[in-house]
Amino acid sequence: MKCVDLFAGCGGLSLGFEAAGFEVIGAFDHWNSAIEVYQKNFSHPVYKQDLSDESTVIEKIANLSPDLIMGGPPCQDFSSAGKRDLTQGRADLTYHFANIVCAIKPTWFVMENVEQIKKSHIISDVIEQFKINGYGLTAIILDAAYCGVPQSRTRFFLIGHLNDNHNQLVEILEKNLDKSPMTVRDYLGETLETEFYYRHPRNYNRRAIFSIDEPSSTIRGVNRPIPKTYIPNSCDPKGIDLTKVRPLTTLERSYLQTFPRDFKFFGTKTDLEQMIGNAVPINLSRFIARGIAEYMVNFSSIHSATQSPNEDVILVKLPKKSMVSKKTISYQKKQAIEQTKNDMQPMLALF
């Protein structure tokens, strides 16, 4: 199946789909630093293009005749790590993505974004647009730690298949989830040569020190050294010798995004941290691609099953709570309680 990658960045989606046997024939982005890294790692062309210029983009993609268009429109206006300001204009790129897909009408499309997009009217708008254009849709939120990624990273995916029913991939994707979350040690073994590492928090009421015996926290585009005056948070593991704690290097963070060790990164540290943090983890991308491939193998029998063509698109979050092990629930509950206590401290000080 021939694919085109929009908002390609340094190639997380592209690499995952190639790993699942798909053929990526072209990519588009507008950030020079990411384009240069992409060019060094893929043989197909990547085009520098403002993707808000829909007519130009549509003409170029039409000449490639893709079977699938994928992309992750910039998420800063939705993200909890951003300002969540829909007036900034970046959220409009989600509309541009939908317009481009509906103009080209590929058999499949895959759109990735942060979980918080579910609260925006924009996702409702584009879902309605895709439905009008004949796409059967699967809307799903996945925890990457159950998809072969050693990282707690929840991401929204909207998958469209032309002239199909809605919610068709949910069963396959749920079946293919790992039984337990992947830890950093599961994936990297002892190669980090540390038991604990520092991830700079968004504020100092939050946890900053993590164990390799759990999934890493979400890799963001910010990576700072541990402050010399850092005082462990109550959420941090107890009894830690801070002299043995360090932040992960840029390359180590790329490994937690499941980029292969032979992937060629170059550029400024700031740019690299940003493109790595923005990328779709390769194994998460591969998980989605394999789900589509598996569905296509069984498409005839699945499609003939009795199902109302007017069924609503149902947003599903995986894994479901019933699938998460008691050990994982216990750990997450403890962390949530500690985090709630810390988040409440500034508010309690007001009374």
So which residues are the catalytic ones? 75
The secondary structure of 48-102 as a DSSP string is: E--TT-HHHHHHHHHHH--SEEEE----TTT-TTS---GGGSTTHHHHHHHHHHH
Instruction: Answer for the pair 65, 59: CB distance below 8 angstroms, yes or no.
Output: no
Q: Which two tokens stand for residue 95?
A: 């509309």
Contacts of 208 (CB under 8 A, 6+ apart): 198, 199, 200, 201, 226, 230, 233, 236
3-state secondary structure of 13: helix
150 in Cβ contact with 215 (< 8 Å):
yes
**Per the structure block, which two tokens stand in for 32?**
């020079």
Best CA proximity match to 93, nearest among 122, 68, 55, 58:
122
Neighbours of 282 (CB within 10 A): 25
CA 339 to chain centre: 24
> How far, in Å, CA of 12 to CA of 283, rounded?
9
Break the chain down into helix, strand, coil percent, rounded to 5: 40, 15, 45
